[in-house]
Structure 1
Amino acid sequence: MKARILVAEDDPKQAEVIRRYLEREGHTARLVHDGRAALDEVRRHPPDLLVLDVMMPVVDGLDVCRILRRESDVPVLMLTARSTEDDLLLGLDLGADDYLTKPYSPRELMARIRTLLRRTRAATAAAEDPVLRIGALALDPVRRTVEIDGRRVACTPGEFDVLATMAAEPERVFTRRQLLVSTRGDNRYITERTIDVHVLNLRKKIEPVPRDPVYLRTVFGVGYCLTDGTRAR
């Protein structure tokens, strides 16, 4: 699973360590040291994955992530020294697909990158899968596209994985833990609130009235289920 990876890290020594580990695993790595350069590089040469430090000059990592999510679905693994849950959830809410808090070991970073690459490539590696249709919602696991009433909806890889898991079994009630394990594996560093953030963002994109969802429904005390949208109001 070789990939083109862009590393946005303002510490040249740390960036070089990451580059060496990536190249040892067979990846191609490009390095930039500020947020503006990261945006320019993604636009010129879209990578398979972006490793993005939060604390960077010119444009910080959170703003980079916010801007990219308006124009790209490149997977983003965020590096942050901000270890509070609210800070980490903010990064996910802006569209990051995973995060790693500093200090971290390069081996753990490589493991996170392998997991993220596996997850984002799983559907496209399949030769052909039928489009999943639930009411007016259409999800293509191969092209990783989502449409609602024929309108294309831009989803982050994390959001797509949650929706695809539920679309494979419409009407099934999933607990947050089941969705987390299905989409992220058994990762003790990621909390179940991650699923709540993804569901909240998906509702903004696919629901006619996000505050009164008819597709992504909450089953109180249990979790979530995906329906065909015909629930009576």
Structure 2
Amino acid sequence: MRVFVLEDDDAIGMGLKYSLEKEGYEVILTKSQKEALKDWKKGFYSLCILDINLPDGNGYDVCRFIKEKEDVPIIFLTANDAEVNVVMGLELGADDYVCKPFRVNELMARIRTVLRRSGKDKSSQNDDNIIKAGNITIYANEAKVLVKNVLTGKEESVELTALEYRLLLMFCHNKGTVLSRNSILEEMWDVSGDFVNDNTLTVYIKRLRDKIEKNPANPQLIKTVRGLGYIMER
């Protein structure tokens, strides 16, 4: 299930992306009105989370643009819960609003409620939450990863750490694209909010390969592109 996020604050935007991906959502993050209007695709997203105050406009105009094309659920993020702001957002067709600063658990609960009301609850969208790549199957609703055993042909559950799981999802969401080490490092915040360093990334790549590759010494799922980074080809 894809979520469209418009947030110009880097810290809030990356935090939202991380939290949503941890819940199994696929996230497209934009930072300006211009970028949002350019990246929007009809029929592609199940939910939109829009910041109101933007450097080159406002979330209201983006909401109007989206609603003219498709009736997709929208949640506004606002630093001001003044009644006029709330009313304006709801009159434009927004389904809910959340005031900053907000608790992640509260936002996730509101997202589930909005999706349920709209009939787009991710529990009823099974196909969107099953990700296949090579010999692995990911059930995003449960954060469950199955790997097909070469000898038996049966799928077996593998235990991944939170960072290994996030790393795997990153590759799955960018199939066919070379991901540089820097781009991966920028995304891979650890649970305490610190950046994962370059040496640690090498360790996580190795551990992930050990768990999902048929032959970790000759990886076929997550390949190294010398001098550039890594790629998941299929």
Q: TM-score, normalised by structure 1?
A: 0.49
From the CA coordinates, give the structure whose radius of gyration is larger. 2
Q: TM-score, normalised by structure 2?
A: 0.49
